[in-house]
């Protein structure tokens, strides 16, 4: 077999595997959306779930997921940015830096159920926070922090070396160079990665079973006092998220329309994650074009 024939065969095999993956993905998405889209309505998205009666919704679970996402990113973004900037600009090459990178890589490969058990031991029991949104946010920070560190470090490393050296040559300090020159250039990649990381947080379930809990109090959306036990803004209350609700409905749902509720909730979850991914790509291209136009 000559080189040209081998190249054609390899190209066909690669395209075949890629096509199979795309077909499997489209089939999975089509199945979920086909089963669930017909059950989605405004009442379904805003009403509370029912335990044994038909007609429940996912309103509190959807709000809990969004609120948990905000809490998690408030903790994750500053820590991830700081660690990524340190690793890319301040950490000196050596055994310590390599060990930190190894720890970050190992942590990123941990199953989410292990992170959940760690959160149950440390945040729920030892720290005494209990099953709450805050415990879930801390566990998801542990789960998502390695990705945020890698995104920031790679984005900062992708800044042209000439621009950094020119800034330092003009007399700017290292920190001023990072904040005024390097971060604006790396920001499109950082924002894109952050939105993609947020999509992972929104769809996570295993880590939240042991930290945020599998139940939620009846929320009073007229009570915005963050220390009230029934306030939706209380971060120390138990909170069943949308992904956990889907698992719970499928495993122990007693309502006669439990299957329809689970299908509709799954479609909402898939659409939301797709929205995060497409939004991240669009926003990343927009920021890149904006930065390119201003250079």
Is the separation of the CB atoms in 241 and 205 below 8 Å? yes
Q: Give tens-digit pLDDT for 231-258.
A: 888 889 888 888 888 888 887 777 788 8
**Mean pLDDT for the stretch of residues 259-284:** 84
The rounded percent of the chain whose pLDDT value lies above 90 is 11
Cα–Cα distances in angstroms (integers) from residue 230 to residues 25, 49, 57, 221, in the given order? 40, 16, 18, 8
**pTM here?**
0.85
Q: Give tens-digit pLDDT for 99-145.
A: 888 888 788 778 888 888 999 999 999 998 889 999 999 999 988 88
Cβ within 8 Å of residue 247, ≥6 positions away:
205, 209
- Residue 19's pLDDT is 92
The answer, yes or no, to whether residue 292 has pLDDT greater than 70, is no
Domain ranges of the chain: 40-294
Q: Can you tell me the distance from the alpha carbon of 121 to that of 271, in angstroms, rounded to the nearest whole number?
A: 33
Average pLDDT, the chain: 84
Cβ within 8 Å of residue 271, ≥6 positions away:
33
Q: Give tens-digit pLDDT for 110-120.
A: 888 888 899 99
**Mean pLDDT for the stretch of residues 208-220:** 83
Three-state DSSP string of 43-108: HHHHCCCCCCCCCCCCHHHHHHHHHHHHHHHHHHHHHHHHHHHHHHHHCCCCHHHHHHHHHHHHHH
Q: Can you tell me the distance from the alpha carbon of 79 to that of 63, in angstroms, rounded to the nearest whole number?
A: 25
Of the ranges 72-76, 83-87, 193-197, 288-292, which one carries the lowest mean pLDDT score?
288-292
Q: Which CATH architecture has domain 40-294?
A: Orthogonal Bundle (1.10)
The answer, yes or no, to whether residue 6 has pLDDT greater than 90, is no
- Residue 294's pLDDT is 58
Q: Can you tell me the distance from the alpha carbon of 108 to that of 100, in angstroms, rounded to the nearest whole number?
A: 12
- Residue 293's pLDDT is 60
- Residue 295's pLDDT is 57
Model confidence band, residue 172 (pLDDT cutoffs 50, 70, 90): confident
Of 43, 60, 54, nearest in space to 253 by CA = 54
The answer, yes or no, to whether residue 174 has pLDDT greater than 80, is yes
């Amino acid at each position: 077999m000559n080189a040209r024939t081998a190249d054609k065969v390899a190209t066909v095999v690669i395209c075949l595997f890629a096509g199979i993956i795309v077909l499997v993905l489209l089939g999975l998405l089509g199945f979920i959306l086909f089963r669930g889209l017909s059950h989605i309505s405004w009442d379904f998205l805003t009403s509370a779930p029912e335990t044994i009666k038909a007609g429940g919704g996912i309103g509190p679970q959807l709000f809990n997921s969004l609120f948990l996402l905000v809490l998690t990113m408030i903790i994750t973004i500053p820590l991830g940015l700081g660690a990524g900037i340190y690793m890319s600009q301040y950490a000196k090459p050596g055994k310590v830096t390599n060990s930190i990178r190894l720890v970050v890589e190992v942590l990123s490969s941990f199953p989410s159920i292990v992170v959940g058990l760690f959160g149950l031991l440390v945040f729920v029991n030892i720290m005494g926070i209990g099953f709450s949104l805050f415990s879930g946010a801390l566990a998801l920070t542990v789960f998502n922090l390695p990705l945020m560190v890698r995104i920031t470090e790679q984005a900062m490393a992708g800044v042209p070396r000439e621009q950094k050296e020119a800034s330092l040559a003009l007399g700017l300090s290292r920190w001023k160079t990072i904040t005024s020159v390097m971060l604006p250039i790396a920001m499109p990649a950082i924002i894109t990665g952050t939105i993609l990381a947020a999509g992972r947080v929104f769809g996570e379930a295993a880590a939240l079973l042991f930290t945020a809990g599998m139940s939620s109090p009846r929320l009073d959306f007229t009570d915005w006092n963050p220390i009230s036990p029934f306030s939706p803004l209380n971060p120390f209350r138990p909170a069943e998220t949308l992904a956990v609700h889907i698992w719970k409905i499928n495993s122990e749902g007693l309502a006669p329309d439990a299957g329809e509720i689970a299908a509709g909730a799954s479609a909402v979850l898939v659409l939301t994650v797709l929205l995060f991914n497409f939004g991240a790509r669009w926003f990343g291209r927009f920021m890149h074009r904006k930065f390119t136009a201003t250079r």
